[in-house]
Amino acid sequence: MISWKIEENGYDPRKTANLGNKFLAGNGYMGIRGTLEEYTKEQFPAINLAGIYDQANGWREPLNAPNGLYTRLLVEGEEYSLLKKEWLSHKMSLNYRHGLFSRETVFQTKKGSISLQTERFASMEEKHLIALMVTLTPSFDGEAEIITGIDGDVWDINGPHYDSIDTGSLNECLYAFGTTHENQDHVAVVEAIGLLKKTDQMVSNGDRKVMRRISIPLKAGGQYKFYKYIAVYTSKDGENYQSEAEKLALKAKEAGYEKLLSGHKNNWEEKWKVSEVSIEGDDEAMEALNYSLYHLHSIAPRHSESLSIAARGLSGQTYKGAVFWDTEMFMLDFFLFTEPQIAKTLLKYRIDTLPGAQKKAESYGLDGAFYPWESQEGGYDACSDYNVTDVFTGRPMRTYFKDKQIHISAAVVYGIMRYTLFTGKRDLLSEGGAEVILECAKFYYSLLIRKIKDERYELWDVIGPDEYHERVNNNAYTNRMAKYTFDAAVEILKEEKKEANKDSLQKKELLERLQDAAEHLYIPAPDEKTGIIEQFDGYEQLEEVSIAEVKERLLHEKEYWGGAYGVASHTKIIKQADVVTMINLFSEEYDAETRYKNWIYYEPRTEHGSSLSACMYSMLACKCGMADKAYPFFIKSAGADLGDGGKQWAGLIYIGGTHPAASGGAYMTAVEGFAGLRIEDGKLKVSSRLSSAWIRLSFKVYYLGDLYQITVTKDEAQVKKIR
């Protein structure tokens, strides 16, 4: 049995930023950082919104809504807040089965102690709603005052994003309407309050805040509760976003906290019915994995039919709230297997942003679709030409992530094809997916070169998954993914031909060209002697050196390892799984020895400087029959958000946040690694490759519209259709 709960006891201000991520509660529309009610922007509270962005100071990032949770406690005119450090005990917890955040803090007042408890959730049933319950339990007679309302002076990494915030009160509600800088988008937050009895209120308004001041007479041993119902809408949700927000806040108040909570919980339970993964014999692993799945659920876009997930989920503005290859290559499978509609929503976002990808390709003089490395609304590439600051000169360094990480387009194709394969449905293809695939194939085709003296086609001047080596030729992963794209496009074109029974000359020519491309594109093969696949042309000539030695060469703890002159750049040390990712994706093309040799070769040369790395090593280790080597990488991936949250700062820029790709990677490792789930001859197959301590691994997956129960023990691996 696992607890489905994480807790933090005591209060340490140094942990505030990380706990904000770790205790995140979200519903896909918004993410509420695991921060406390009394926090102001210095402590990074945020109600982070999905898919709405603003540019300020040259930086485009998602919006944080005005903070309707803001609440301060005063007793006898004195404020009691964790920030004031007069607390006796403090505990916060997250029930990650139901996305329920709570805190309990006991303060020492001059008259006696008082407990402040809160509980809150971003409703999974009603995506625009947040509900908060506050309970005061005093040990004395006296008077409390509560200052609660909406704080529009929100935390931003590169803000402020609201040119103005109109605040006010009417019809029992508080209002904050923000207008953004770049596009004059609007965000509306409306708060209604539910009190046990009618109480005197003062409303103060101004300076981007609107607050109620409520007096509560206290009796020793009594319990005093009130509720806040906070509705969040943006102008992207429709013309009547303001009145909708008001209606929702009042409706919620009418329904009451308990009813809302019950609907919310039921909704979560429905999800777990399909998605829970049980690991008998290893509670730690099961906790970490299901906690990862909780995060994926919390950020899944269920309120839209075309939206994707940012690399740091809804935990804030890090990485500009942009969508990376993380979604298709690391998160997609979880949704595809447990809630395929979301997989479709994620991919529809790519289909709908095709014009942006086409524009990007054109800007580089290329054909087809070059998807953004950091995708925002409309397929705008938010990636800067200068992503890193030189710590020695303070100058921005020209980086080529945007220009050269061409494997991003293939990730989109991979996602669409995988959706089609696992759902057995061609809906996505006919709704634009086929066009995307053709456009991506045209993109790679326009990049293909060949040496005049050679027959083979090559791809030069790229960056593969390992970003420490920029502008390399024939990155194995990239070339293989481009071939995958050509193959997919050829399949699409053949299918179209069959279906339509027509064959335009243009399509025929394209088919011939892409078939030729797929046939001639050079895919680096295992070396005949060593069995090693070279990551890119010339990798083998780079300096052979240990990670420890490379670290010793650092002159500054924050200097960049990559770029033209980084400590790793001219060595074999790589940032993350690259060849190993390729072999993992196309494992059926490589024999057991090749898989094993490459794992053994590349692992000690990998810094694992990205949270995308561990799961690839873990999955491939499973596929090499090394479940026990896989295990620590699995735990690392599943626990990416459970520990201290990794690197939180790059110089003065906050880069912390949740790691949904690692969460998705952990899921894939369990399902496709330890349980060996795959399709063979159109059938779902599993294998038993359990880690030593595991007794039984069981979960459910959708395949071709049917739900299957998978059960794997040491001796047996079962697939059973249950619906």
* Segment lying near a copy of itself (by CB under 8 A), choices 302-310, 395-403, 614-622, 627-635: 395-403
Q: Shortest gap between Cβ of 243 and a copy of itself (angstroms)?
A: 48
Q: Which stretch binds a copy of itself (CB under 8 A): 385-393, 587-595, 639-647, 676-684?
A: 385-393
Residues facing 701 on adjacent strands:
708
Site for a copy of itself in 353-372 (CB under 8 A): 367
In the bound state with a copy of itself, the residue whose beta carbon lies nearer, of 234 and 474, is 474
CA 553 to each of CA 1, 52, 391, 548, 605: distance values in angstroms, whole numbers, following the listed order: 47, 42, 15, 9, 16
540 assigned to active site: no
Nearer to a copy of itself, 564 or 693 (CB): 564
For a copy of itself, which is the closer residue by CB, 31 or 368? 368
Question: Which one of residues 205, 389, 569, 709 is an interface residue with a copy of itself (CB under 8 A)?
Answer: 569
Options 93-101, 153-161, 564-572, 664-672: segment touching a copy of itself (CB under 8 A): 564-572
One-letter identity of residue 214: I
Residue 392 contacts a copy of itself per CB under 8 A? yes
- We find the least distance from the C-beta atom of residue 474 to a copy of itself, in angstroms, to be 12
Q: CA 73 → CA 29, 112, 182, 214, 221, distances in Å?
A: 29, 15, 37, 10, 18
Using rule CB under 8 A, residue 515 touches a copy of itself: no
Query: Going by DSSP bridges, is the β-strand pair 683-685/678-680 parallel, antiparallel, or unpaired?
Result: antiparallel
Q: For residues 442 and 632, what is the distance between their CA atoms, to the nearest angstrom?
A: 41
* Closest CB 391 distance from a copy of itself, rounded Å: 9
Report phi then psi at 194, rounded to 5.
-115, 115
Position 389 contacts a copy of itself (CB under 8 A): no
Q: Which of 421, 525, 564, 693 binds a copy of itself (CB under 8 A)?
A: 564
Cβ distance 122 to 25 under 8 Å? yes
- Torsion-angle region of 58 (φ positive above 0: left; ψ -120 to 50: alpha; else: beta): left
For a copy of itself, which is the closer residue by CB, 392 or 506? 392
Nearer to a copy of itself, 459 or 616 (CB): 459
Q: Whose CA is closest to 606, among 683, 653, 550, 646?
A: 550
Smallest distance, a copy of itself to C-beta of residue 688, A: 46
Minimum CB–partner distance for residue 488 and a copy of itself (Å):
18
R_g of the chain, CA atoms, integer Å: 27
We find the least distance from the C-beta atom of residue 573 to a copy of itself, in angstroms, to be: 15
Q: Residue from 1, 452, 652, 722 that binds a copy of itself (CB under 8 A)?
A: 452
Q: Binding residue for a copy of itself (CB under 8 A) from 76, 153, 166, 390?
A: 390
563 binding a copy of itself? (CB under 8 A): yes
Residues with Cβ within 8 Å of 321's Cβ and at least 6 positions away in sequence, in order, are 48, 53, 61, 62, 310, 312, 376
Binding residue (CB under 8 A) for a copy of itself from 397, 437, 532, 668 = 397
Least distance in angstroms from the C-beta of 628 to a copy of itself:
40
**Least distance between a copy of itself and beta carbon 378 (Å):** 23
Q: Are 374 and 383 in contact (CB under 8 A)?
A: yes
| Closest distance to a copy of itself from the beta carbon of 529 (Å) | 18
Q: Token digits for 40?
A: 């102001």
> Which secondary-structure segment (H or E) carries 221?
none
Query: Between residues 513 and 714, which has the closer beta carbon with respect to a copy of itself?
Result: 513
Q: Which of residues 462-501 bind a copy of itself (CB under 8 A)?
A: 471
655 Cβ contact partners less than 8 Å away, ≥ 6 residues apart: 318, 319, 647, 648, 649
Q: What are phi and psi of 140, to 5 degrees?
A: -150, 165
Interface residue with a copy of itself among 393, 455, 588, 715 (CB under 8 A) is 393
3-class DSSP assignment, residue 687: coil
Q: How many residues bind a copy of itself (CB under 8 A)?
A: 28
Q: Using the rule CB under 8 A, which residue among 225, 359, 418, 570 binds a copy of itself?
A: 570
CA dihedral (534, 412, 484, 616) in degrees, to 10, reads 40
Q: For residue 155, what are the contacts with CB-CB under 8 A and spacing of at least 6? A: 41, 42, 43, 44, 45, 46, 64
* Angle between the N-to-C axes of helices 354-363 and 434-447, in degrees from 0 to 180, rounded to the nearest 10: 10
Contact positions with a copy of itself (CB under 8 A) in 634-663: none
* Sole binder of a copy of itself in the list 517, 614, 661, 717 (CB under 8 A): 517
Pick 286 or 517: Cβ nearer a copy of itself = 517
Which C-beta is closer to a copy of itself: that of 227 or that of 560? 560
- Selected from 219, 259, 273, 395, the binder of a copy of itself by CB under 8 A is 395
Question: Is 456 near a copy of itself (CB under 8 A)?
Answer: no
Strand partners, 630: none
Residues of this chain, 418-447, that bind a copy of itself according to CB under 8 A: 445-447
CB-nearer residue toward a copy of itself: 395 or 494? 395
**Which of residues 453 and 498 has its CB atom nearest to a copy of itself in the complex?**
453
User: By CB under 8 A, is residue 450 in contact with a copy of itself?
Assistant: yes
Residue 461 — left, alpha, or beta (φ > 0 → left; ψ -120 to 50 → alpha)? left
Cβ 581 to a copy of itself, closest distance in Å? 26
244's CB contacts (< 8 A; 6+ apart) are: 128, 231, 233, 237, 238
Amino acid type, 344 = K
Closest distance between a copy of itself and the C-beta of residue 513, in Å?
8
Interface with a copy of itself (CB under 8 A), residue from 398, 418, 497, 551: 398
Tell which one of 14, 110, 197, 453 touches a copy of itself (CB under 8 A): 453
Catalytic residue (choose from 276, 467, 470, 672): 467
Candidate segments 100-108, 156-164, 483-491, 563-571, binder of a copy of itself by CB under 8 A: 563-571
Closer residue to a copy of itself (CB): 382 or 448: 448
d(CA 499, CA 496): 5
Q: CB of residue 495 vs a copy of itself: minimum separation in angstroms? A: 24
Please give the full DSSP string across 477-535, using - where no structure is assigned.
Answer: HHHHHHHHHHHHHHHHHHHHHHHH----HHHHHHHHHHHHHHHHB--PPPPTTT-PPPS
- Sequence-separated (6 or more) residues with CB below 8 Å from residue 32: 24, 25, 26, 46, 47, 48, 69, 101, 120, 122, 130
CA distance 638 to 655: 20
Give me the residue label for tokens 């194995």: 476
Closer CB to a copy of itself, 146 or 397, in the complex: 397
Sheet holding 278-280, edge to edge: 278-280, 696-703, 706-713, 717-721
Rule CB under 8 A: choose which of 283, 565, 604, 628 binds a copy of itself. 565
* Contact of 181 with 205, CB cutoff 8 Å: no
User: CB-based contacts of 704: which residues, under 8 Å, 6+ apart?
Assistant: 422, 423, 424
Which residues lie near a copy of itself (CB under 8 A)? 367, 390, 392-393, 395, 397-398, 445-453, 457-458, 460-461, 471, 517, 555, 563-565, 569-570
- Active site members: 467
